[in-house]
Amino acid sequence: MTDEFEHLVSDQMSLSEIGTSNPALNCDDTGTASYNLTAQLDQQGCHGTDSRGAYYNGTTGGSGDGGGAGAGAAGHHDASLACYSIRSEPEEYDENLDAPDSVTYLSIGGNNPVLVIRESDADSVSPASEIPYSYVYNTPVKFDSMRRHIFIPGLEIIVEIIDYERSLTSHVLNPNLYTVKLTHGPFSWTIQKRYNHFRNLHQQLTTYRASLHIPFPTKSHKERRDSFRNMHTVHQATASPAMQQKLGKPLKKIKKSALPRFPLKPDSLVSFDAIPQRIKQLEEYLYNLLNISLYRNFHGTINFLEVSHISFISALGEKGKEGPIKKRTGSTRPGQSGCNFCGCLAGGCCVRCSYFCTDVLWSKWRNRWFFVKETCFGYYRPKDGLLRCVVLFDQGFDISSGMYSTGMRNGLQIATNSRYLVIKYPTRRIAKEWMTHMKRVANESARDFTLPNPHQSFAPSRPGVQAGWFVDGAGYMSAVADALEGATEEIFITDWMLSPEIYMKRPAIDGDYWRLDKILKRKAEQGIKIFVLLFKELDFALGINSYYSKAKLVEQHENIKVRTHTHTLPTT
């Protein structure tokens, strides 16, 4: 009753403002429950706050001149105080994350109405089988934004703690390391977390939920506050008839078992015999938490689950492993950046001094979101969501850790034939976990590219490949035209000299239908991404005029991207 009261009157929000019939109880003079607590407190006229900052009325029947603490008539006890009296016994769970409903943002913006639905009462979110591959081309969104779309719509996340490790010597306060298995549709992955990780997430969500009730001056806080308060009072003019009917239904009171109830007792006070019960408590907390979209889409929860917007795209393969890292700048090839002292550092004459010069004097550490897929790895820049690097596993792949390789106990050095990266993790355990995972990927799903292949090829021999021999250019160009016409997602073209006006099929009896620029424009208008790489000639030696080809193709459609060969890509 106390928690419901605090939730109802926090931020001085009435029942009509939050648009819900949540039966927050109050007590009258006789101690019976009623639903007019807000009106009763307004009549009494004095306010205060309890130890957790909840807004309440703390006066009795006397006058207000006594500072809100005066006594009433003799023998009279204000029973409303019983509704928010502080409990003397310690609480076992923290239920501050209770929400009126599972809220989903449909649109967020300025002064426009914000439509919010309740997933428990509406069937507007139909389950999807997968996220389409074209999603990778959406406009990048920074990682702490509420506009990110991570999960498959309509599918829940199953939580199961499958194992734990207990170490009272190295981790006195958080001795248990839990292995959590998460399942989202066809994707399954595991994460390892301690109790303090759960507690930190709970604290972030508690702060975030409180921020929705505080009118911060920033625009983003105002949008989130409006969407939370107007979840039931949606403008009828902007809602469809079906939505109006669903919004007209009264809200159902959420059962206590569906609330994310966080266990307050730390792991250091949990005995060995009580660990199964602790595992069940954490499972229920995380599962109930992820069923509330308001918290599931929070960037702290997304980081906790180690997922991103590329995690659940079936065309990219398995989810893989992801997480935040710190990357050292200048990671190209050893000895190409920073101070080298005439080759002494690259030659290994000084170990620690080398890392001091490269780490402290000449380099900086940047926050990145690192991911490992079946045959590649790379990283995003969280502050703007841009993809900064993708590296393929190849025969030069090598990964090492330790003081000699990186100068840090929690660092990793990753090298391929094309890139050299130095990254570090918060702890040594996490660094070893990533190192083990990348070695396993290199020896399993990427073994075709990391092991030697015939004829020193970067790729293995593949039987059953769709290939054919062509006698002349007529048959080849016709086959290329058919392949372009059948493209559904992407088109890649690389050429030494390319003429946009070339006819792919001859004779040209269909007008310019089979002309190259017309084919590419037609496919670009269908939403297909087209990438063209051309050779940038030297003007005094060759007159192939690659600039004209680039300008002619780019002007066709925004989905056609052209880059010339000698223009290098930026690296970070």
**Quick one: 368 and 271 in the same domain?**
no
pLDDT at 132 over 70: yes
Q: In this structure, are 137 and 182 located in the same domain?
A: yes
Instruction: Please tell me whether residues 434 and 487 are part of one structural domain.
Output: no
- Of 405 and 201, the structure prediction assigns the larger pLDDT to 201
Q: What is the 3-state secondary structure (H, E, C) of 329-385?
A: CCCCCCCCCCCCCCCCCCCCCCCHHHHHHHHHHCCCEEEEEEEECCCEEEEEECCCC
DSSP code at position 147: T
The answer, yes or no, to whether residue 426 has pLDDT greater than 50, is: yes
pLDDT tier, 7 (very low <50, low <70, confident <90, very high otherwise): very low
Whether residue 260 is predicted with pLDDT greater than 70 in this model: the reply is yes
User: Does residue 331 sit in the same domain as residue 296?
Assistant: no
Find the CATH number of the domain harbouring 281.
3.30.1520.10
Whether 494 is in a domain gets the answer yes
Is 63 within the bounds of a domain? no
| pLDDT, tens only, 366-409 | 999 999 999 999 999 999 999 999 999 999 999 999 888 888 88
Domain that holds residue 409: 320-337+350-456
pTM over 0.85: no
Poorest-pLDDT segment among 339-353, 406-420, 532-546 = 339-353
Distance CA 270, CA 194 (A): 13
Q: State yes or no: pLDDT of 464 exceeds 90.
A: no
Please tell me whether residues 418 and 524 are part of one structural domain: no
Judged by phi (left if over 0) then psi (alpha if -120 to 50, else beta), residue 440 lies in: alpha
Task: Answer whether residue 507 is part of any domain.
Answer: yes
**What integer is the mean pLDDT of 127-150?**
84
∠ Cα 369 409 342 (to 5°): 90
Higher pLDDT, 42 or 90: 90
**Helical axes 2-9 vs 37-44, angle rounded to 10°:** 70
Q: Are residues 275 and 210 in the same domain?
A: yes
Q: Is residue 43 included in any domain, yes or no?
A: no
Average pLDDT, whole number, for the chain? 74
Do 293 and 423 lie in one domain? The reply is no
Same domain, 543 and 402: no
449 in the same domain as 377: yes
- Rounded percentage of the chain residues whose pLDDT exceeds 90: 39
Quote the number of domains for the chain: 3
Residue 240 lies in a domain: no
- Same domain? For 380 and 448 the reply is yes
Using the 3D structure, point to which of 427, 456, 485 is the last residue of a domain.
456
Residue 15 within a domain = no
Residues 6+ apart with CB under 8 A from 482: none
pLDDT at 564: 86
pLDDT of residue 184: 93
Same domain for 365 and 444: yes
pLDDT: which is higher, 265 or 70: 265
Q: Is the pLDDT of residue 428 over 70?
A: yes
Q: Does residue 359 form part of some domain?
A: yes
Q: Does the structure show a pLDDT above 80 at 38?
A: no
Q: Is the pLDDT of residue 565 over 50?
A: yes
- Range of lowest pLDDT (34-38, 334-338, 492-496): 34-38
- Residue 503 is classified by DSSP as B
* Buried b or exposed e, range 301-318, using 16+ CB within 10 angstroms: bbbbbbbbbbbbbeebeb
Considering the domain architecture, whether residues 328 and 301 belong to the same structural domain is answered as no
pLDDT the model gives residue 168? 86
With respect to residue 525, please indicate whether it lies within any of the assigned structural domains. yes
> 1-8 contacts: CB < 8 A, separation 24 or more?
1/25, 1/83, 2/83, 2/84, 2/85, 2/87, 3/95, 3/96, 3/98, 5/37, 5/54, 5/56, 5/83, 5/84, 6/50, 6/52, 6/54, 6/55, 6/56, 6/84, 7/98, 8/37, 8/38
The CATH number covering residue 392 comes to 2.30.29.30
Ranges 19-23, 223-227, 408-412, 493-497: which has the least confidence? 19-23
Flag whether pLDDT at 353 surpasses 60: no
Domain end (from 425, 456, 487): 456
